[in-house]
Chain A
Amino acid sequence: MSSNLSVQLTSRLSVILSNLGYNHFDRKEASRSTGNTESPSSLNNPQVGTTTRPDLLSDDLATNLVAAINLIRRQADESGAWLLLAGLGGCLPLKEDVQELRYRIEMKGDLDVVEWILTWLFSEQTAIRQNQEIKVVSGAVIVDVDHSAQSALHTGVQRVVRGTLPTWCAKHTIIPVAWDDQANSYRQLKPAEFRRATQMPHSSTGTLDEADYDVDSGNCVRIIPWNTTLICLEVPNKNSSERIADLAELSTNRVVLVGYDCIPVTSADLVTDADIVKFASYLRVVKHADSILAISEAAAGDFRGFVSTLSTQGLKGPTVSVCTLPSVGTPSEIERPESLESLESPIILSVGSIEPRKNHGRVLVACERLWSEDIKFKLIFVAGSAWDQDVLAVIERLRSQGRPIELYREISEEDLAVLYCRASFSVFLSLHEGYGLPISESLAYGVPVVTSDYGAMKEFQSRGGVVCIDPRNLDECVQNLRLLLCSQTTLDGLRDAIAPSSRNSWENYADELWTLCLRESQVSLDYGTDSASTGSR
């Protein structure tokens, strides 16, 4: 085992050395170097063995380690130290460890450095014990789709992943990756995960087929990115964020993020504490990323605001640009009823999870007021998740008073299409959005929307068919809903005003996103190597 490990580490080191640009000339340089360096043979000194593993230190391994140490000693930055730990340990190292190594390489002798590295290699975070295959991937495009690959959820972020990946996989060579179970390293996707990350599920809010999902990810090859463009299509969780931030700061990889929103920074009252902790950690990634591609002008404004604070840390921060999400949800073959009069009463449709941020409470108050005025209509909620107990209690109370309210938790795309086709209009008075998918969806079905008069939601106004109001003002809400319920002319005018979206497919979005992601990259867009295709087909 240990001699196997030694052979394995030696071969990992030669990969690292070649990625650091080690060549014959360097080999001579390294053997000539003086100062703090000891000759490789002195590394077999028995005193090393007290804390590390002398049995691991074959001559080859020792020679290669010393060569790497000497290369890194001559480097101005910390990227070489990052790669040495990443490539040996099979995990994305943390900044404190990289800096400690860099310090030791500069200040201490080779013996000390080797001992420190071997001790670090046996720390919890590395893959050394699992005999894991590690691949250092250079010059590729790596796409972090961790959550969409592993979770059956299909909300905003997963839609973006599942809408984008099919196009990218068809047109380009990419390596989609997830995190290992301890969130220490990237790894290849399993076939089932790949399918999950690239396929739109059948139900709009429901779950995917769990049948072929094999939970054991222990055997997946670990991926160490080097000189790559790493694209995070999702918002990583807290632990992953720490390692991505350190990768972005210290390694030679370019990091590109799709920027969804900064809700926890400005609306802490509307999210959970766990969301805040996760987002605060994510802002570390943002700080050191190269580029943010925001899903709306408003989201871009949020990220620019954050970036503008970074000069106090002497940092430039990422460039921020906009790549707006597509307007999709095309009505298939479903026919709209001939006229709304043929229905019992008009339908107001409200799509979106029932949580405080979505402001359903005020919509309910407005509707209660309108019902008390004897205006006839039905209110239908479609909500994938519903955890705002206050709102659920109000729905319950109004229903018990005989008010026509329906709440659908799980619904297929087809049924949702039917609801859109029967709805008079939809209402989406969220207090804070990065984009506002339900607005986009409603307009794609030709259904007018009452929405909020600021941020990303207001950006839809130019499409036509959108009524923007102050979502905190009950009077405005009541007046506008009343108008649309009572004036068929107004409603028809709004319907007629809806212009088709200039961007109407995920393919279109994926193409522009790809171009923007690779815009400042030195990597050729399609390089095609063996290592690059692993796991993606």
Chain B
Amino acid sequence: MTKLSQLLAGGSESRVRALRQRIGALADGLGIESAEAVSGSALSCESFLDGVLGANDKSRCWLVLSVLGARFPVHADVERLHRAIYVGCRPAEAVLSTLDHIGVIDSDNLRRVEVSSGVLVDVDHTARYPLSTGIQRVVREVVRRWTEVKDVTLVAWTFGFDGLRRLDAIEANRAVGDVEGDTLSLSRCDEGERPVIVPWHGRIIVPELFSEVARATASRAVFEFSQSQVGMVGFDCVPMTMSETTGEGMPVGFMHMLAAARYVHRVAAISDAAASEFRGWRSMLSSTGLLGPDVASVPLAVSTYNSTQNDVDHARGELGLGQLPIVLAVGSHEPRKNHMVVLHAAELLWRDGVRFALAFIGGHSWKADAFLRRVRELSQQGLPVIVVERAPEPLLWAAYRIATVSVSVSLQEGYGLPVAESLACGTPVVTSNFGAMVEQAVMGGCIQVDPRSPDAVARGIRSVLTDPSLRSKLSNEALRRPSRSWDQYAEELWTYLVDGVPPD
């Protein structure tokens, strides 16, 4: 077994320096006067560790391993250390043998460590990938506001998902800002430069989905042992409730995220529907002897974009749909969005002589072969249907404005962003008669239909297309809906997740 004294005496100067820095950080984090342990002999370091772990507290086991290893342990590592001490191992020796088992003793890891009791916001995915999915748009709106008015530290994971660290300049920009013109596929942050941040009696907020198994596994131990208040945003539980509509690997990552979420304190669901999914899952936890998080609904805000007259004038031309009334469907092409039924309904209407053009805006598709094939068939028959994979913001918002009606008949939505966005532009929406979509519909501007029935969807679209008075009534309802700003959302999210005050 490697002795601490050997490490301190025999290691290279840089390793000894790194180790001493970590011991100092550990002492600081625990509020212990560290001068002796840091400057003193190995002997005093060992008795310092014996003292820290004297009560054999699992959280302290996690802290000691995290700080001395500059690498977060997983649950099993913490148990290993705790059990070794429990059966009579001397703490300082048990720590070293556990670090050895994890593989950090012989590594050339020279990271510095910072123990933090502040508010850490984990934006790993949003900061590292220049994507702009619905989730990442939410994260950016929130984080931009929080960084301006709150005392927060934005963090991402190391490449091996074994520690948190600060963002570099590119990542920080991505986390809060636009990603337009950002061409890097993945950030190459130089991690050696950045200390590992170890949360301890702090606050941790995860505003994004984290479905990488390694990230979920490390997060689980952080949530369980770091003595921090942990809050996350709950978007939906689709990989559990509708695995048939997700990619193959998604359920595995998502279930591991749920395993970590057992140790979260608060989940801010983006709608009542999303809250009911997380509550259903939480009620299943009684079989595990764990309580799980408090779940509350903090509904998202809706962005609007002030289209210029120019945007609107050019949209028709860009979509290439002539002067026909437009039926618009926004969203990725995936089974959950139920676009096959939209096509079927449109075909029924065309057959009946109803005149309109159907426009799909959205990319990022999967399991979309049948959809794209059907679109091709219909186009070849000369029917006015188009798919725009990538629409810049001005075109998207102009399309909402020039459309006669939107159709958003998903089989499940966490929130129903395309419904809310269309309504914000005053364009009525034909939407599904359940879940989050009903939460949107009850505020006005919508026709609710059974999304599994092409006939019902067709009837809904037809009623708006062919009845101008209905269309203007719905449009007026839509424009009178109470607006909800990102400032409000960001503030309510903070109040619940950080201050711990549940929404009304």
Q: Which residues of A contact B (CB under 8 A)?
A: 96, 99-100, 103, 106-107, 242, 245, 261-269, 273, 276-277, 280-281, 283-284, 287, 298-299, 301-302, 304-314, 361-362, 365, 368-369, 372, 390, 431-433, 452-456, 470-472, 474
Contact = CB atoms under 8 A, between A and B. Distances in A.
Nearest to A433: B287
B158 interface: no
Interface string B59-102: 00000000000000001100100010011100000000000000
Given A311-B276, A390-B76, A301 B244 contact: no
B276 A454 contact: no
Contact of A266 (B75, B239, B288, B450): B288
B244 A245 contact: yes
B243 A284 contact: yes
B433 A314 contact: yes
B277 interface: yes
Given A99-B340, A107-B347, A265 B288 contact: no
B286 A283 contact: no
B355 interface: no
A313 B434 contact: yes
A306 B279 CA distance: 9
B129 interface: no
B412 to A, nearest CB: 5
A268 B284 CA distance: 13
B141 to A, nearest CB: 24
- Of A301, A307, A471, which is in contact with the most chain B CB atoms at under 10 Å from its CB? A301
Given A265-B284, A268-B252, A361-B83, 20 more contacts: A100-B370, A103-B344, A261-B287, A263-B287, A276-B255, A305-B284, A306-B240, A306-B284, A308-B280, A309-B240, A312-B273, A312-B413, A313-B412, A313-B435, A314-B434, A369-B86, A453-B289, A454-B289, A455-B287, A456-B287
24 contacts: A107-B348, A262-B284, A266-B281, A267-B259, A277-B251, A280-B239, A280-B251, A301-B284, A302-B284, A305-B281, A305-B284, A311-B435, A312-B434, A312-B435, A312-B436, A313-B434, A314-B411, A314-B432, A314-B433, A369-B87, A454-B288, A455-B287, A472-B289, A474-B83
Contacts of A107: 344, 347-348, 351
Contacts of A304: 283
Nearest to A398: B87
Nearest to A474: B86
Interface string B253-284: 00110110010000000000110110111111
Contacts of A100: 370
B340 A266 contact: no
A120 to B, nearest CB: 13
Given A312-B276, A314-B432, A268 B255 contact: yes
B108 interface: no
Interface residues of B, number: 59
A307 B277 CA distance: 10
A284 B238 CA distance: 12
Which of A277, A284, A309 lies at the interface centre, i.e. has the most chain B CB atoms within 10 A of its CB?
A309
Contacts of B273: 311-312
A372 B87 contact: yes
Contacts of B432: 314
B229 interface: no
Contact of B277 (A299, A312, A453, A474): A312
